Amino acid sequence: MGANRLDEIDRKILAELQDDGRMTNVELARRVGISAPPCLRRVRTLEEAGYIRGYHADVNPRELGFEVQVFAMVGLHSQAEVDLSAFEQRCRNWPFVRECHMLNGEIDFILKCVAPDLSSFQTFLTEELTSAPNVASVKTSLVIRCAKDKPGVPFDVLEERLGRSA
């Protein structure tokens, strides 16, 4: 089911929950202009259809002692599907790796990593990442600061695109 198969109320529900996943169903229903029971049914349907993947707290890594954030660009020797899948599974098992994205182009994967300090990241880098099977190269960039970290999708752009196609 694509975005154009969702009605305006469903899109409003998704936009509101993306901004604040902790609001009550009553508050959500008020914001989207419907009563609470149908709102709850719609949310459950959106969850079951896969539009809502889950709910989580946006935890501040630095407050918990994870001072270092690094992007690691990884090149592999082989891009055979079995080797790509093996690398992805390995990334799922590394706690410092918070995101893993396969890319098109010179770099096969980009990893978003967090670590308590540079020494811990360096140990992970040398003992686990660069020594992992099939890893040909790793280039890292240390994050100095984050100017924007917005989850989800821009619903205003979605509404604009849907308005043009209607």
**In the chain, which residues fall in CATH 3.30.70.920?**
62-142
**Fold (topology level) of 62-142:** Alpha-Beta Plaits (3.30.70)
pTM for the complete prediction?
0.85
CATH of domain 3-57: 1.10.10.10
Distance in angstroms (rounded) separating the CA atoms of residues 98 and 71? 10
Q: Splitting the chain (166 residues) into consecutive groups of 10 residues, what average pLDDT does each group show?
A: 78 95 96 97 96 92 96 97 98 98 96 98 98 97 94 89 72
